[in-house]
Amino acid sequence: MHGTIDNPHRIVVRPLKPFACGMWYWVEYDQLPLIARTRNPEHDACRALVTKGHTGLLETWDGIRPYPLLIIRDIEKAALLTVAENASHGPRVVPFRPFTDNHLRALKLPTWDDEAAA
């Protein structure tokens, strides 16, 4: 399942809810949910699509404008990247490193329920 110039893979990214560190997004592929909640929709979508055996070109749409907002030429390469931001630097593209369960617990990231209570 290769996305080409004539027939690219297309995702639709919709904003869900802002929070202290940015925005949560919903991602659809082929009019079906692909990712229910993410802060990094394009790279997470690439990883999800590669897992399903897809390769090639990806277009990101918002469901409103008549043109793609972002074109990713190789989803396999983009799946190896993510966006990182911290107190010492703004957003930048860096190599993706999956978190371990222990690392996730140590981060104490806000949950959806924590944000609703605030």
The per-residue pLDDT for range 84-114, each reduced to its tens digit, is: 888 888 889 899 887 666 655 666 666 655 5
**Residue ranges making up the domain that contains 101:** 2-117
Question: Which residue carries 């027939």 as its tokens?
Answer: 7
Domains in the chain, number: 1
Return the pLDDT at 47: 95
Residues sharing a CB contact under 8 Å with residue 68, sequence separation 6 or more, in sequence order = 10, 59, 60, 61
The per-residue pLDDT for range 36-64, each reduced to its tens digit, is: 999 999 999 999 999 999 999 999 999 99
